[in-house]
């Protein structure tokens, strides 16, 4: 971990905080506008400091976090959670979204193995494909 007055690139920090599996994915997310720093789009080389607010969109989920500690090294998940603080509202929205996604029916996941003729007809009716 680095000193509190030092700065770290946002893509490195997102990778170290375990929001993304690789630095390349973190860099692509920042470039694609999926990450906002203090309410504005940022470039991957933008440096962050403690106290900065970051909004991260990954798939259907959104995190609103405040940077607490800077790090440019990826460590265990327990250490990664100490790098940021997530707001209560953000956590509640994310948990509600998780529950919503879990209740949605996925016809492909419901079928195990090769679909039968009956299964294919049901899928065709659901998706509108013939």
pTM of the model: 0.75
Average pLDDT on 10-27 reads 95
User: For the domain that residue 84 is a member of, what is the CATH number?
Assistant: 3.10.290.10
HSE-up (13 A, CA, CB side) for residue 62: 12
Average pLDDT on 23-34 reads 95
Q: Cβ contacts of residue 83 below 8 Å, gap of 6+? A: 13, 16, 17, 67, 68, 69, 70, 71
The pLDDT, as a whole number, for residue 85 is: 95
Percent of the chain exceeding pLDDT 70 equals: 90
Q: What share of the chain is helix, strand, coil (3-state, %, to 5)?
A: 40, 20, 40
**Count of structural domains within the chain:** 1
Q: What is the pLDDT of residues 47-85, one digit of tens each?
A: 999 999 999 999 899 999 999 999 999 999 999 999 999
CA atoms of 68 and 85, how far apart (whole Å): 7
Examine residue 2 and state whether it is found in any structural domain, yes or no.
no
CA atoms of 44 and 33, how far apart (whole Å): 10
Range(s) of the domain holding residue 49: 8-127
């Amino acid at each position: 971990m680095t000193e509190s007055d030092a700065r770290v690139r946002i893509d490195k920090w997102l990778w170290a905080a375990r929001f993304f599996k690789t630095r390349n994915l973190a860099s692509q997310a920042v470039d694609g506008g999926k990450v906002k720093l203090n309410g504005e789009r940022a470039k991957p080389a933008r440096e962050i400091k403690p106290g900065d607010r970051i909004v991260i969109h990954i798939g259907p989920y959104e995190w609103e976090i405040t940077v607490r500690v800077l790090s440019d090294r990826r460590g265990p998940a327990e250490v990664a959670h100490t790098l940021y603080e997530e707001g209560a509202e953000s956590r509640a929205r994310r948990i509600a979204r998780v529950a919503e996604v879990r209740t949605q029916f996925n016809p492909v996941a419901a079928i195990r193995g090769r679909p039968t003729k009956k299964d294919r007809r049901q899928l065709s009716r659901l998706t509108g494909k013939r």
